[in-house]
Chains A and B, each alone.
Chain A
Amino acid sequence: MTATANTAYLRTTPAERLPPPAAHGGLVGWLRANLFSSLGNTVLTLICVGFIAWAVPQLLRFFVFDAVWSGADRDACLASPANPEPGACWAFVRVWFSYFVYGFYPYGLRWRVDLFFVALAFGIAWLAWLSAPRRDIGAVYFFIVLPILSYVLLSGVPLIGLASVPTSLWGGILVTIVVATVGIVVSLPLGIFLALGRRSKIPVVKLFAVTFIEFVRGVPLITVLFMASVMLPLFVPERFAPEKLVRALIGVALFASAYMAEVVRGGLAAVPRGQYEAAQALGLPHWRMMALIILPQALRVTLPNIVNTFIALFKDTSLVFAVGIFDFLRTIEAARVDPRWATPVTSVTGYAFAALFYFICCYGMSSYARGVESRLARAHRR
């Protein structure tokens, strides 16, 4: 005891209390840590604040405060004493809205399109909600019942009293959704088959699968669409030549299948080898092993990637314009140049509306993918 007390380098009295750090917590602390931690950071922050202060009020002014919300023709959206610098011409979107949604689908029959949208939304919700009851029936509904129902509703079967509507009258969001849905419904099963084919030990099957996948992934969608629209009619006897929309659907579906195959292959590769061995040890034949043990796990692991492929597919549906189909973007293009609405802001408004639609759909899908991903990560950690 005495030895320590005599040691010169040991304190005998408690140190004086330091004041607490200036701002370590709370708002000020957060600001300091995240925005003003150094000189360079402060400069960056100021530049960003300047940019936001410059851009956001202008965007708000253009799209909300100075925007024209109603009107019958272009005069509403031209500069006037009341509104010297008119913003977005939402009146134009309102007037053309039903054209953007249905194209030239006959007025009296548009309830069929609405019903199709509802049936589709129901199917998507059933499959996307991971803890929904009987998702196996949901899959049957989505991949078998829904396509038939959609065809009956949209195209019409005169036999049961639904007047037939030629696809040349379809347009707008309806066509975009149809192309995307057909792409999804066809590409998922076909992609699974191609992925299994690519991993197959049978040389010819593997060769066909690899050739198809690599070929399609190596060329732009536009050329695939051109091929479907120009070459397909040549390859079949003249009377069987499919109509324009069907040709584009075939092109999109084949294109999406190749990408889906690669995604599914990634999922298959992620299933541990032991799962195959365990299934084989139980004596399951190849196809039952795949269907009961491997694929469910592979698809679950790769679900976020599948959704990302759907997002890409959904955006790519806009390319069907190249073969003369009136999808949503094409209807915007057609309406935009209407002389009755020719104003300096019409184009920007049309594109902003289209961007909003695509953004909401794609952002929704990608949020869903992220949600599934974090759920999977949690399950994985456990």
Chain B
Amino acid sequence: MPKIVSYSSRNSRRAGYIALQAGLVVIVGGLAYAAVVNAAQNLAQAHIASGFGFWNNTAGFDISQTLIAYSSSTSTFGRAFWVGLLNTLLVAGIGIVLATVLGFVIGIARLSRNWLVARLAGSYVELIRNVPLLLQLLFWYNAVLKSLPELRGSVALPGGGFLNNRGLFLPRPEFGAGFGYVVIALLFGLAATIALRLWARRRQDRTSEPVRMLWFGFGLIVILPLAVFALTGAPLRFSFPDMGRFNVMGGVEILPEFAALVVALTVYTAAFIAEVVRAGVLAVAHGQTEAAQALGLRSHTTLRLVVVPQAMRVIVPPLTSQYLNLIKNSSLAVAIGYPDLVQVFAGSVLNITGQAVEVIAVTMAVYLTISLVISLFMNLYGYALNVAGR
């Protein structure tokens, strides 16, 4: 006779689930409670304060790169936190842009019909992906940038810059009174181009006559701001770096730590993005290209209208996780002393205050927030792509 699961046995299974859950909650809660009690005891023994009272205390340490005003004698730990966070965002932002460009170029090169180009791009990906980022970072920093000539033997760059083992010194642009108008003209040009483009697309949908956008866009985005720039009397000067005896004065200084981090993150992440791009393009069925050609589309139009939109749908999710990896990997800055969030906050601030729990919790919360926000935006974008594609 087949065994029939009776109502009571289902009930008992249900009771088992509830008991399991309750047990789990009790165990995890108990562990957490024990951890908190132990931490309180250990902290009290070591005479370490708790809470975020330290946030407004004077920091008292220097930071080599600050995007906002910061001084070791007056600024607070909270200020140091923001300095570190901005440095992280700066390096990650630049890294993401450069890695995307390089990654797409290499990913497409890997698909090239030219055997040599495909092989070179493949070797790049294999070499870079199989060597730890930290090793590459140390290589760029210690073996390349730190072995540049010293101050005296600085390499003079065309356009008035210097390159030596203390960094890259470039002319600093100084904006005059009328420069605001140039920016306004540029923004206007961008907005007008977008509006024009929308109109052109609607018109093409209605009449199927394409509108040549290139020259309008060029005029609005490039010529218009340039004209305003000339009319307002070219309100842009450069302050050139000056070679002193012991240091370089003036100009913009790009720290070798910053440069090494950007180069290492770009080179490393680009190899992964290249694979993402390659997989995305390969995922577009070959029949799609053939169908487009059968309809008489040119190869450029096929690429733009048929292959890329479908590939992007495959590319966006893994591309997002590569961006997130880049942001998280920027924390390797601590190895070469670039003042990012981890180096400044989880390094210096933690060492001075000793408040490990608060400092680590805040640091992790920042990365978690960044991750969640970027995933959210990329999900929205991916959703829009999917909707548009259907």
Q: Which A residues lie at the B interface, using CB under 8 A?
A: 34-35, 37, 41, 44-45, 48-49, 51-52, 202-205, 208, 215, 217-223, 226-227, 230-231, 233-238, 311, 315-316, 318-319, 321-322, 329, 333, 336, 344, 347-348, 351, 354-355, 358-359, 362-363, 366
Contact = CB atoms under 8 A, between A and B. Distances in A.
Given A37-B113, A222-B342, A348 B143 contact: yes
B210 to A, nearest CB: 25
Interface string B267-311: 000000000000000000000000000000000000000000000
Contacts of B329: 220
Given A45-B116, A51-B120, A227-B364, A234 B39 contact: yes
Contacts of A366: 129-130
B135 A351 contact: yes
Contacts of A236: 35, 38
Nearest to B3: A283
Contacts, number: 150
Given A44-B114, A45-B114, A205 B367 contact: no
Contact of A231 (B116, B130, B147, B356): B356
Interface in B174-204: none
A189 to B, nearest CB: 18
B134 A321 contact: yes
A344 B35 CA distance: 50
A270 B129 CA distance: 27
Contact of A238 (B21, B35, B42, B126): B42
B24 A204 contact: yes
Contact of A204 (B25, B135, B342): B25
B43 interface: yes
Contact of B28 (A208, A217, A316): A208
Contacts of A231: 39, 356-357, 360
A369 B130 CA distance: 13
B371 A218 contact: yes
Interface in B338-373: 342, 346, 350, 356-357, 360, 363-364, 367-368, 371-372
Interface residues of B, number: 54
A90 to B, nearest CB: 16
Interface in B219-255: none
Contacts of A35: 114-116
B130 A311 contact: yes
Given A48-B117, A219-B367, A234-B356, A351 B138 contact: yes
Contact of A220 (B35, B127, B132, B367): B367
B355 to A, nearest CB: 10
B132 A329 contact: yes
Contacts of B313: none
B334 A344 contact: no
A341 B61 CA distance: 34
B135 A354 contact: yes
A49 B147 CA distance: 29
Contact of B21 (A202, A315, A358): A202
Interface in B1-26: 17, 20-21, 24-25
